[in-house]
Amino acid sequence: MNKISLIIQREFCTRVKKKSFIIMTLLMPLLMAGIFLLPAYFATMEDNEPRTIAVYDSSAIFLGRLENKEFTKFHFVPENEYLKIKGDLKNSGFYALLVIPPNFLTTNRVQIFSESNIPFELKSTIQGKLKAIIEKDKMAEVIRQTSIPDLQQKINATKTNIVVETVKEGEGGKTEESSTELGMILGYVFGFFMYMFIIIYGVMVMHGVMEEKQSRIVEVIISSVKPFQLMMGKIIGIALVGLTQIAIWLVMGFVIISTAKGMAGSNGNVQQVQDIMSQTNSSVQQVAQPGGMQGIYAMIDTVNIPLIIGCFIFFFIGGYLLYSSMFAAVGSAIDAPEDAQQFSMPIMLPVILSIMVLMGAIKNPEGSIAFWFSMIPFTSPIVMMARIPFGVPLWEILLSMFLLAASFVLMVWLSAKIYRTGILMYGKKVSWKELGKWLKYKS
């Protein structure tokens, strides 16, 4: 055991002292925030490219009725000018030509001529403006036929915004507020993090074993320790590196959230913080409505954060041990990096499948597919973490943990048999059949 602890210490200290570890530990939260927030932010950005669109309306329905936006302007043209623009759109000075046929009310179709494909947002804007005008005309016709002058106002008054509050009812009639939106966010984030960590640190183990084997330093190490001790020391040492990063990120996240919450509560700057959030990512604020930033804090209070963090750590350790032992076996069995893909791809397929199931599990966390994939050890670390924020019965969590623990113990034992044989084997192309023979060797 002392030898394993020395290997763990060496693996941990060697990797933690690297500049790359320090840099990535500090920058990863920013990178992950960018991955999740920037797409939403860019999606909310308005198109600020100035464009003037020529409009030829032979139906005479929309003449002078297309309102200009700040950067998108509509210019109606007569037939003679329309023919001239269509013949030479490039030199016409217009970005595009919108043609509305005389039978528009029958076909509901228009044409847009441009030198290249127009942006999707511009197409949606034009489509929305035309639809709004037609619907307004139809509504006016209904008002005219029914002779009710204030029908439009009455119809508008019937439009209602509905706020649905979710409440979980426990045993004995005990109720508590819940948040479906936050559950979706946490399920996706924790599931994605689990996927990323398992792949990154599992592959790190494989490359570490390959480097020691190729440099022949493993021959010196094996003279002092058993192959199983070397494998377990490397796996546990790298696991501690991952847990150290996770602990640092959790502390940073707790400090940031606590500081922001304290500033909003004590200084009365809720509106100011809310304005900053709306400028940074309006979609986050929409999820939290009503209440803006206070709504976000209220949603966080409805989630069992200690349970989620505790389960995340367990499933990370279990999933990591399960997959890293297989990656270690692959690293010990091959000599060339180009052979790694052949053997590592079957290992990664269940992880990739887990990500595919993840989205379905978030939409229907109580479904049969989500349940069974959260029980299968090869997929449970990711799928179960997607379900837990929605509230999972304790027996399901414990059963999933037991199956995962039993599986990684069995997998570590099998991988150790391959590791013991392959770590000192050079110059031979290994096949799956050969790996099967190694499993049958007696210790």
Two tokens, residue 411: 């997998």
pTM to 2 decimal places: 0.60
Two tokens, residue 339: 């052979």
One domain, residues 380 and 259: yes
> Is the per-residue pLDDT at 356 higher than 70?
yes
pLDDT at position 439: 73
- Residue 31 contacts residue 11 (beta carbons within 8 Å): no
In a domain, 95, yes or no: yes
pLDDT tens, position by position, 6-58: 878 877 887 888 877 788 777 777 776 676 666 666 656 655 678 888 889 88
In a domain, 256, yes or no: yes
Confidence band (pLDDT; 50, 70, 90) for 265? low
The CA R_g of the chain, rounded to the nearest whole Å, is 31
> Is the per-residue pLDDT at 173 higher than 50?
no
Rounded to the nearest integer, the mean pLDDT of the chain is 75
The parent domain of residue 278 ranges over 180-440
> Is the per-residue pLDDT at 339 higher than 60?
yes
pLDDT tens, position by position, 94-115: 888 888 888 888 888 888 888 7
Q: What is the domain count for the chain?
A: 2
One domain, residues 273 and 324: yes
> Lowest-pLDDT range, 34-38, 359-363, 369-373, 383-387?
34-38
pLDDT at position 44: 60
One domain, residues 282 and 186: yes
One domain, residues 136 and 230: no
Two tokens, residue 196: 């990323």
CA distance 361 to 385: 10
pLDDT at position 282: 42
One domain, residues 147 and 208: no
In a domain, 164, yes or no: no
Place of tokens 């023919």: 83
One domain, residues 146 and 190: no
One domain, residues 140 and 185: no
pLDDT tens, position by position, 324-337: 888 888 877 777 66
Give the pairing of strands 51-57 and 111-114: unpaired
How many Cβ atoms from other residues are within 10 Å of residue 388's Cβ? 27
In a domain, 46, yes or no: no
One domain, residues 417 and 372: yes
pLDDT tens, position by position, 286-325: 444 444 445 554 555 556 778 888 888 898 888 888 888 8
> Is the per-residue pLDDT at 138 higher than 50?
yes
One domain, residues 188 and 126: no
Mapping DSSP to helix (H, G, I), strand (E, B) and coil, where does residue 170 land?
Answer: coil
One domain, residues 202 and 112: no
In a domain, 10, yes or no: no
Domain containing residue 125: CATH number: 3.40.190.10
pLDDT at position 400: 92
End-to-end Cα distance, the chain = 19
One domain, residues 288 and 139: no
- Residue 408 contacts residue 386 (beta carbons within 8 Å): no
Domain edge (last residue) among 132, 152, 172: 152
One domain, residues 284 and 335: yes
Of 293 and 226, the structure prediction assigns the larger pLDDT to: 226
